[in-house]
Chains A and B, each alone.
Chain A
Amino acid sequence: MKTLNIIPILIGALLLLVHSLLANDERYMEAMQKNIQAVYTASSMEDLQNSVNTLERIAAAEKTKWEPYYYASFGYIMMANREQEGGKKDIYLDQAIAAIEKAKAINANESEIVALEGFAHMIRVTVDPATRGPQYAGLAMQTFGKASTLNPENPRALALLAQMQYGTAKFFGSPTTEACGTLITALEKFDTYKSENPLSPQWGREMALGLKKECN
């Protein structure tokens, strides 16, 4: 019998190893893209919970990636938004913030994470506007400001800021010119901003367009 040629086996093993590593990266990308789509398009609380759970699993397995925590948090914020009962809203927002903290621990200066944190504070106000307003509205605006400082091109930080400014102006009966001005800049950035990260957030344009209708 011909002796087993070791080199092909080694190459094969190497190929298998490289394949599995690439496969891991591929698997990560595939899983992320599938679940990001799922949080964007989820139509029920159950769907959101499923996607959030999957993203938490990916985050825990990967350990060095902030994006899974980011989208899990986004999912929790969507759940908080849908939830009617104040106490339960707070629970989802607590989980959203916990996920944001984990994302920040991995990447402290990512503008998208900070903008999302502001979004959580914004939803926090809706639980009890009279009590929460003074503390969380200011905190939300400050956080959006911080996100814009980290990345002036971030359209989401600007769109959320515009929402907050609009809501405050409506509450006090003040003119909405500042809010609408911020909104126009936000819409411009939605068109011009392109991130290098294939998993970067894409949401927010619809929300901004919705607000634009109120402005004119």
Chain B
Amino acid sequence: MKTLFTILSLFVFLAGFAQTKISGKVIDGKGKAVPGTNVFLLDTYDGTSSDADGSFQFSTAEVGKKMLVATFVGYKDFQQEITLGNKVIEVSITLEETINELEAVTITAGSFTAGDASRRTVLKAVDIATTAGATADISGALNTLPGTQKVGETGRLFVRGGDSNETRTFIDGMVVLDAYSTSAPNTPSRGRFLPFMFKGTSFSTGGYSAEYGQALSSALVLESKDKAESTRTDIGILSVGGDVAHTQAWDRGSVAAKIQYTNIRPYFGFIGQEIDWKTPPASMEGVGVFRQQVGKDGLFKFYGNFNHSNFSLYNHSINDFNVKYLYELTNNYGYLNGFYENVLNEKWNVRGGLSYTSIQNDAWVESDNIQETEKGIHAKTVFEGSLSDKIELKTGAEIIQRSYTQNFDLRTGSDYALGFDELIASGFAEADVYTSNKFVTRVGARLEYNNLIHKVSVDPRISLAYKTGASSQVSLAYGKFRQSAKNDLVRVNHHLASEQAEHFILNYQLVENDRTFRIETFYKRYNHLVKYGNGNPLELNNAGEGYAKGVELFWRDNRSIKNADYWVSYSYLDTERDYLNFPHKAIPTFASAHNFSFVYKHFVQRMKSQLGFTYSYTTGRPYNDPNMERFNGGKTPYYSDLSMNIAYLPKPYLIFYFSCTNLLGRDNIFGYEYSPIPDAAGVYNSRAIRQAAPRFVFVGIFITLSKNKSVNQLPSL
């Protein structure tokens, strides 16, 4: 036993002797100490946290070769093999930064992102929905951001000197061929998609990613929500109609359906209108949404939207009010979008989709019938992944096939039809190279083949961003963009080349303590714009060109005033173009030099209400007066509008909503229409293009029925 005891005590003695002391200092790439770093031996308890000056020290009884590890959030794990046995080991540890979402610089030139996923976005998803004057219309809310022009009679987005068709909408990466509801001429249309559907919005005013194409000015990229969180029924009773929606949620998926009926007639009965309606607009809409999580990380989304709308009105002759023409329009719209995404492996994701759009417009002008049909299919696949921890790559391919026909059924004269089929096949690749968390370069290219004109094109896109301080950065973007000419032009000449634009953008942004400051300047060069040869609309060519340049400012403050959030945006635009029927380069009628918006939102706890105001001001827009020598020589008076909205929540599941545009009652004039024939004195008479009504008042009651009584529709208002 004595031998045993000796052996045992020898073990203990030896064990005691074999303590190794490990010490050193932890610093980052710049030599700064990193306190709180976890320094330890892999698979043991032995370790410690580094001190305020980065130094650390701990003892271990382990022997042999062990892995020394150092970890701290925001840095790559440090690993070094050490051999234990000596009494003291000194290790100096330098931690390498990871490219992490919160610290990394982002490319901001020409883009506004709203969403909760990225925490440093300038706008939140709920902002799109709660801006006064927007009445839950996405374009309406985006119109308060810099880079947009207020063209009130259309309700569409005009970006930086570009026409409204130069902005394209994408849902989950899939193109939406007609993002606006149909409207009577000179009356505003609304977006077809409601803000509540989306978890993220990325609105670019130029220089957008190589993933998107066929948009000369801007891409509005909407990301639909994933699985709904709870089962609920939503009822909306509105001054212009009503809707009912039901969402059923289960563990890994959800399905939702919504029916909406809108009829403006009762509303028009109360409030006088400028337009002589025969049948005010009415529409019936059905929406279905299905989401299902597949496998471990996959997601399948399906969205369907059907809309039937109809209206008729009398167009009065400018020269003689008693002469009037009946105009009637019926629109049937269908949109189906299927989307799939999944994780392929640790480094790569795949996503893809298939969408189908069908648009049918049936118009009557007195006894002449014009039927317009557009059908489109879009198929797309994108692979996204990391080539290394500093390089991210995105690459994909897509096909967009469109068929357009227009049938003219005329009372006098022969019937005829025009149309075309266009197939565009494209591929793109884009890489984000992070030199560090402070500097990123994005390089991409987009290849397109258009079978109508048998042309292959390659367009480059480059942008970079540099972090100048902890919360500020500078960003630069350049890109070439192309877009097929509008349908009504291509149907006349199938061989029209794509219109092109080149963007140069420079931006500085500072986001700190819930305040954002942003200044951006841009230069756009347009060429191959479609022009009427010899002033003849049936003789089209691509000889047109133009430019747009300007400066924009944006200031947002979420903190100075308690419970309040406001932003101010100002855009200066200098643009001229020579296109369509222009005799030479001139300022287009949709462009105003100065655009100013002020948006204010306040949550009043005591009144359980959210109050919002929006004030918009723009300088006059040009219009063409045939009585004047100079083309587009007229200038409208300035535009000024103050709108407000109130959302009152007496109970968590009940919301009363009221909004009113143009509180000051200003008679805003957007332009002038001129009679095509001069009167007896040789003067062309005119009529002002005004707002459809002095004010638009909207009242709504929103009820949400669900097991969780605190769920309501506020986020979607």
Chain A residues proximal to chain B, CB less than 8 Å: 4-5, 8-9, 11-12, 16, 27, 31, 46, 49-50, 53-54, 56-58, 60-61, 87, 90-91, 95, 130-132, 134-135, 137-139, 141-142, 168, 172-174
Select the residue from A95, A131, A132, A141 with max chain B CB neighbours within 10 A: A131
B608 touches A172 (CB 8 A): yes
Given contacts A9-B7, A49-B49, A131-B126, 20 further A-B contacts (CB under 8 A): A4-B3, A5-B3, A8-B1, A8-B3, A46-B36, A49-B36, A54-B45, A60-B42, A91-B73, A95-B73, A130-B603, A131-B124, A131-B125, A138-B711, A142-B229, A168-B710, A172-B652, A173-B605, A174-B651, A174-B652
B45 touches A137 (CB 8 A): no
A46 to B36, CA, bound (A): 7
Q: Which residues of A contact B49 (CB under 8 A)?
A: 49-50, 53-54
A138 to B715, CA, bound (A): 13
Partner of B102, one of A27, A91, A135: A91
A57 touches B124 (CB 8 A): no
A90 touches B119 (CB 8 A): yes
Interface residues of B in 92-116 (CB under 8 A from A): 102, 116
A16 touches B229 (CB 8 A): no
- Judge if B38 is at the interface, Cβ distance under 8 Å: yes
- Judge if B4 is at the interface, Cβ distance under 8 Å: yes
A53 touches B4 (CB 8 A): no
- Judge if B468 is at the interface, Cβ distance under 8 Å: no
Given contacts A87-B119, A138-B708, contact A8 B4 (CB under 8 A): yes
In angstroms, how far is the closest chain A Cβ from the Cβ of B363?
Answer: 42
Q: Which residues of A contact B652 (CB under 8 A)?
A: 168, 172, 174
B73 touches A90 (CB 8 A): no
- Judge if B714 is at the interface, Cβ distance under 8 Å: yes
**B37-75 interface mask toward A, CB cutoff 8 Å, 1 = contact, 0 = none?**
010101111111100100000000000000000010110
Given contacts A46-B36, A142-B230, contact A57 B126 (CB under 8 A): no
Given contacts A53-B36, A91-B73, contact A172 B649 (CB under 8 A): yes
- Judge if B8 is at the interface, Cβ distance under 8 Å: yes
Chain B residues proximal to chain A, CB less than 8 Å: 1, 3-4, 7-8, 11, 35-36, 38, 40, 42-49, 52, 71, 73-74, 102, 116, 119, 124-126, 229-230, 603, 605, 608, 649, 651-652, 708, 710-711, 714-715
Q: Which residues of A contact B46 (CB under 8 A)?
A: 57
In angstroms, how far is the closest chain A Cβ from the Cβ of B231?
Answer: 11
- Pull 19 A–B residue pairs with CB atoms less than 8 Å apart, ordered by A: A8-B1, A16-B11, A46-B35, A50-B36, A53-B40, A53-B48, A56-B38, A57-B44, A61-B45, A90-B102, A90-B119, A91-B102, A95-B73, A134-B126, A134-B711, A137-B710, A139-B229, A168-B710, A174-B652
A168 to B7, CA, bound (A): 68
A132 to B652, CA, bound (A): 16
A57 touches B38 (CB 8 A): yes
A172 touches B36 (CB 8 A): no
A27 touches B229 (CB 8 A): no
A61 to B711, CA, bound (A): 43
Q: Which residues of A contact B714 (CB under 8 A)?
A: 134
Q: Which residues of B contact A11 (CB under 8 A)?
A: 4
Minimum CB distance partner of A15 in chain B: B8
A31 touches B651 (CB 8 A): no
In angstroms, how far is the closest chain B Cβ from the Cβ of A8?
Answer: 4
Given contacts A8-B4, A95-B73, contact A132 B651 (CB under 8 A): no
A172 to B38, CA, bound (A): 43
Partner of A57, one of B36, B40, B102: B40
B608 touches A61 (CB 8 A): no
Given contacts A87-B102, A91-B73, A174-B652, contact A57 B45 (CB under 8 A): yes
A11 to B46, CA, bound (A): 29
A12 touches B7 (CB 8 A): yes
Q: Which residues of B contact A132 (CB under 8 A)?
A: 116
A135 to B3, CA, bound (A): 70
Given contacts A12-B8, A91-B102, A138-B710, contact A60 B230 (CB under 8 A): no
The 9 closest A-B pairs by CB, nearest first: A53-B38, A49-B36, A8-B4, A134-B715, A53-B49, A50-B49, A172-B652, A131-B124, A57-B40
In angstroms, how far is the closest chain A Cβ from the Cβ of B262?
Answer: 26
Given contacts A91-B73, A131-B124, contact A53 B119 (CB under 8 A): no
Minimum CB distance partner of A172 in chain B: B652
B116 touches A12 (CB 8 A): no
A8 to B46, CA, bound (A): 32
In angstroms, how far is the closest chain B Cβ from the Cβ of A120?
Answer: 15
In angstroms, how far is the closest chain A Cβ from the Cβ of B702?
Answer: 14
B4 touches A172 (CB 8 A): no
A207 to B43, CA, bound (A): 36
In angstroms, how far is the closest chain A Cβ from the Cβ of B584?
Answer: 50
Q: Which residues of A contact B47 (CB under 8 A)?
A: 53-54, 57
Q: Which residues of A contact B52 (CB under 8 A)?
A: 46
Q: Which residues of A contact B708 (CB under 8 A)?
A: 138, 141-142
Q: Which residues of A contact B40 (CB under 8 A)?
A: 53, 57
Q: Which residues of B contact A58 (CB under 8 A)?
A: 45
A56 to B45, CA, bound (A): 9
In angstroms, how far is the closest chain A Cβ from the Cβ of B48?
Answer: 8
A173 touches B608 (CB 8 A): yes
Minimum CB distance partner of A136 in chain B: B116
Minimum CB distance partner of B43 in chain A: A61
Q: Which residues of A contact B45 (CB under 8 A)?
A: 27, 31, 54, 57-58, 61
